[in-house]
Structure 1
């Protein structure tokens, strides 16, 4: 039986009102089945769907504030 390298888990950081940070490299599979790859050491994934470069965060979430219901 060949020796397999021990895989370390990826670190994922959830940020308040911001992107999800994932230690790279990563492959992201989109809802249509296509995939995108980044070999950066950390990637910011958009969770608000406002990014023009979705699934990567482009900080578009900063331009809008949430309305408070009165």
Structure 2
């Protein structure tokens, strides 16, 4: 079985979604966005460069720090 490369999406506290790994990001019509292998997606809705994060979350006071539920 070939080695599979893992893509990671990290939910940053009060900020973006950080995507690391080889992934294709496409718009609603299937057109690909140009990006590097590691990039951040806007989560606050305020970016002037959607779908990418431009740091606007810092100036608008966006707050969100969700945590994954742990199995006990």
**TM-score tier (shorter):** 0.5 to 0.7
In the TM superposition, residue 30 of structure 1 has moved relative to its aligned partner by 2.6
What is the TM-score of this pair, normalised by structure 1?
Answer: 0.68
Gaps of 5+ in 2: 63-72
Matches within 5 A, 1:9-48: 9-40=6-37, 42-48=38-44
What is the TM-score of this pair, normalised by structure 2?
Answer: 0.66
Aligned-residue Cα RMSD (Å) equals 2.0
Gaps of 5+ in 1: none
| Distance change >3 Å, CA 8–CA 26, structure 1 → 2 | closer
Provide the aligned length of Structure 1 versus Structure 2.
62
Higher percent of residues as strand: 1
- Please identify the structure whose Cα radius of gyration is greater: 1
